[in-house]
Amino acid sequence: MDQGHSHDSCGCPSGVGGVYQTLDEMDFEKGPWNAASTGDYPSIVKYLQNGGSPSVRDSAGYTALHYAAMRGYENITKALLQNGALVNAQTKAGQATPLHRAASKGCLEIVKLLLRHKADVCLQDADGKTALHKAVDGNHPEICQILVNFQPSCKDVADNQYKIPKDYITSSLNYSVIYKILK
C-alpha cells in the first residue's frame, strides 16, 4: 500500500466518505443528462423553464434527448423536443442519434415520437449503421416496420461492413417477421 494514502477494504484509494467523482461525473449530475437518464421529469421541466439548452452535450457528446430516448421516457423526450432539442444530434465517437438509441433498445413510442419530429431515418453512425440496422440487430420487428414504412430506401443502406439491415437477421424468434419486412 502507498504510504500516506488511505484505502478502503478492497484496496481502492478512499476520499471523503470513500467517494471520488470526476469533473465529467459532476457535470453530468448538474446538467440535464442525469435527470433525462433517470426519468426525473420535474427536473427536466425546471431545467428547461430556467432557460437550459435542450441540446447541451455531455463530455461524450450525448444530449438529454439521447438519454431519454434510450431509456424510453416519453414525457421527457416530448418536453425536450417541444423545447427545440436537436432530433438528429450525434454523439462524438459513435455518431449515434437518439433514433439509433431508441431503435436499438426497442422503445417503440419514442421511435414514433422522434419520427414525428423529423428524425433522419437513414442517418448513419460511425459504423455506417442506420436506426434500421439497430432495430434488426436488437430484434425489434415493430420498429423495423415503422422505419421501413417511414423511409423504404433505408432497407438498402449498407454499413461500413457492406451489410444492409437484412444481413443482420439471425435465427431468432422474430426472424421470419423481420425477414418479411425487409425483403
Residue 47: the pLDDT is: 94
161 in any annotated domain: yes
Residue 1 lies in a domain: no
Residue 93 lies in a domain: yes
Q: How many Å from the N-terminal Cα to the C-terminal Cα in the chain?
A: 62
Give the structural domain span for 134. Answer: 22-182
What local confidence, expressed as pLDDT, does residue 19 receive?
54
H helices within the chain, ranges in order? 23-30, 32-38, 41-49, 64-71, 74-82, 98-105, 108-116, 131-137, 141-150, 175-182
User: Is 65 domain-assigned?
Assistant: yes
Question: Looking at residue 17, what is its pLDDT?
Answer: 44
Phi, psi values for residue 169, rounded to 5°:
-70, 130
Tally of domains in the chain: 1
Q: Is residue 41 within 8 Å of residue 75, measured between CB atoms? A: yes
**Nearest to 100, CA basis, from 64, 153, 55, 138:** 138
The answer to the question of residue 16 being in a domain is no
Domain contains 14: no
Q: Which residues pair with 13 in a beta bridge?
A: 7
Which residue type does 157 have?
V
Q: What is the CATH number of the domain that holds 52?
A: 1.25.40.20
Predicted pLDDT at 30: 66
Residue 173 lies in a domain: yes
Q: Is residue 99 part of a domain?
A: yes
What are the per-10-residue average pLDDT scores of the chain (183 residues)? 41 43 49 92 95 93 96 98 97 96 97 98 98 94 97 97 92 72 85
